Amino acid sequence: MKHFYLTALLCLVWSIPSWGQSAKISDILTCDAAKTTETAALTLSRSCTPLRTSEAAEQDPKVLTNLPADAEILKQNLTALYPGDCSTQATVIASDLVEYFIGNTITKVQTIVPGGCSKVKLWLADLDNIGTPLYSEYVDCKYDKVVELPCNVKIDKAINLLVAITMEYTEKADCWVPIVPCNRLSAWYMEDTSTGIVGFLDYTHMRYQLYGDENLCYGYYFNCITEGDAGFNEYDIKVEGVSHTRAFIGEVSDFSIGITNYGTKKMASTKFLAKMGDAEQVIEHDKPIKFLYYANIKSQLPTPTTPVRVPLSVQLIEVGGETVSSETCSEDGSITAVDPKLSVQRNAVMEEFTGTWCGWCPRGARAIELLTEKYPETFIPIAIHTSDDFSASEFDSHFTTYGNGAPSCTINRLTKGDPYSGSSEHGGGNLGITKDIAYVSELPCEATVQIKAATLDEDAREINFTTDVCFSIDSETAPYVLSFVLTEDGLKGVQSNYYPITYGDNPEAVPADLRDFVGMSSKFVMDMDHVARYTSGLDGQSGTIDAPIVKGETQTKNFSIDIPSSVVDSKNLTLIVLLQDSDSGEILNAARIVPSFTDAIDAATTDNVQVSAADGLLCISRFNGNVSIFNAAGQKVADTMVNNAASFNLAKGCYIIRTSNAKGVSTLKVTL
């Protein structure tokens, strides 16, 4: 008999915090039935049975929900449940919606409870404090039809509200969930209670990519009926953002405006005013927008004729023929004009999402091998593991934001897709990811980044390095940041492999690049390279690029980072520096280097400088240029220009001395 514990959670991906809270989730979701020992196997049907067809129901302003009232309800099948099993089905209603209902009380929760369960518990919780539910009661209800379960939750602040039903089973039953086409990103959340491993199946991706479903998003059928003076407005359009775009000087710039209708009435028309310097343009959108649906409005403006980055402001000026206030309805983007003669090719950064438990992930590792051979100088891979022995918690949020499950990848955070076949927009076919790389490499790029020197001190377990960043534009502001990643090669792990199970009788159905996986076992020892071990922050470190940015000027910076304890062999490390656009989030360019080792010395002489140390005094001679000194903790203790000679009084310890001038950069380790 197969027993499992399954949680189906349909949620707003951008509203979900790190799933490091899985232990708390387990505590609250556990029902009275015994815990199970086998991992859940989720099987989705290719078609959904309508439970209720579309109806012309009006959106009730007192109902807290992320679903349109006039949409059909569909029945999505999962695997069967058995006696002793426990299933929790839940959704997250994000704080941007809950905020409208502050002061109201949720008195009922409307949903559909699948038949066959013996006990049903309704519970609500703040996603950030899930261990202490706001409400939790066992209820009696009818099955397989819309029911209203009694509730009593006062909304006193904007939270990410988790709404759930937990069901216990004493006999075998079909397992299914009621879902509604909507415009909110969704994912199935699963937990294996025997191992504590949690993970996501991107339901949107599965329906849209695999089955050709015309509805991009689905939401779980939960409506919270409230009492009070608060609620949704009838008409409520919000500007969600304006794009940050790049184009070559003198050309037309394509840009986009994102808007969402938070009002219960369908919005017929909107009008905007876009401004870039002295250029203005009125933009009209006359297509109706339903409740909580999003529209991406595209338009154009002439690009500046000089290489420069300038702000682009967009103001909502009219909704449904009525003028709106300009004080709260504007958003800013930017247009970067790049001289085609100075534009450089971006290095392609693949952030691959993988795991040893994932039976299709060997194709991601193979793709990295092939791409490294094809683009030896311009391809930079980062293998981000999740829920296995090689995972690092600082990458968890990145998996949620950019991953489409495993295997998946992003190229410079501009495309999302499979690491072998690529994205649906640019890729496709055998090693179709090369099409995504070609797309990214041809985009205008206004900056280069280089790692001038990187030294690794094994004793202090730190890497010291120097970066050069040079822009081909002018900009009064500096909306750019650097972030640093360490990857490690030469690791070994036991990798799951679905290819022999699925294609053992038909290996010809597998691309030739991957066919050898069919002849391997379902689990095999695999070399793990490019494994992400450390990041200084995937969104970058503020202050690493200075304003104003001047065309042609190089910004040189010195940095030091500690080697994490998870690293097995520091000799197998690669340092990656990412230059990011902090407004758009994309990786503009990147560089990598294998750090060289430094040896402890009491004195040294190079072609550029003579260094000596004794009795707490560090002496530098025969040198004209910049001197930076770092202690063992990576803190900079001195940074000055030296004219021929200088001395520094320092406490006892180990120091890294970095010198730079026209002759080059030197890095030495000195012991006092």
Distance from C-alpha of 607 to C-alpha of 621, rounded to nearest angstrom? 12
**Cβ atoms of residues 224 and 98 within 8 Å:** no
**Cβ atoms of residues 242 and 276 within 8 Å:** no
Q: What is the DSSP secondary structure assignment for residue 422, as one 8-state letter? A: B
Determine the pLDDT at residue 330: 66
Which residues of the chain register pLDDT less than 70?
1-48, 185-216, 325-330, 458, 460, 598-608, 614-615, 632-635
Determine the pLDDT at residue 2: 28
CA–CA distances in Å: residue 653 to residues 164, 443, 460, 601, 602: 57, 48, 11, 12, 11
pTM: 0.70
The total of other beta-carbon atoms located within 10 Å of residue 177's CB is 22
Which domains does the chain show, CATH number per domain? Answer: 5-227 (no CATH), 237-338 (2.60.40.10), 342-442+491-528 (3.40.30.10), 446-481+537-595 (2.60.40), 598-671 (2.60.40.3080)
pLDDT one-digit tens code per residue, 490-542: 999 999 999 999 999 899 999 999 999 999 999 999 999 999 999 988 888 88
Determine the pLDDT at residue 16: 30
Determine the pLDDT at residue 226: 98
Query: Nearest to residue 76, comparing CAs of 42, 116, 49?
Result: 49
Determine the pLDDT at residue 246: 93
> What share of the chain has pLDDT > 70, as a percent?
84
Determine the pLDDT at residue 44: 46
pLDDT one-digit tens code per residue, 625-654: 888 887 765 667 888 888 888 888 887 777
Terminal CA-CA length for the chain: 69
Determine the pLDDT at residue 185: 61
Determine the pLDDT at residue 10: 43
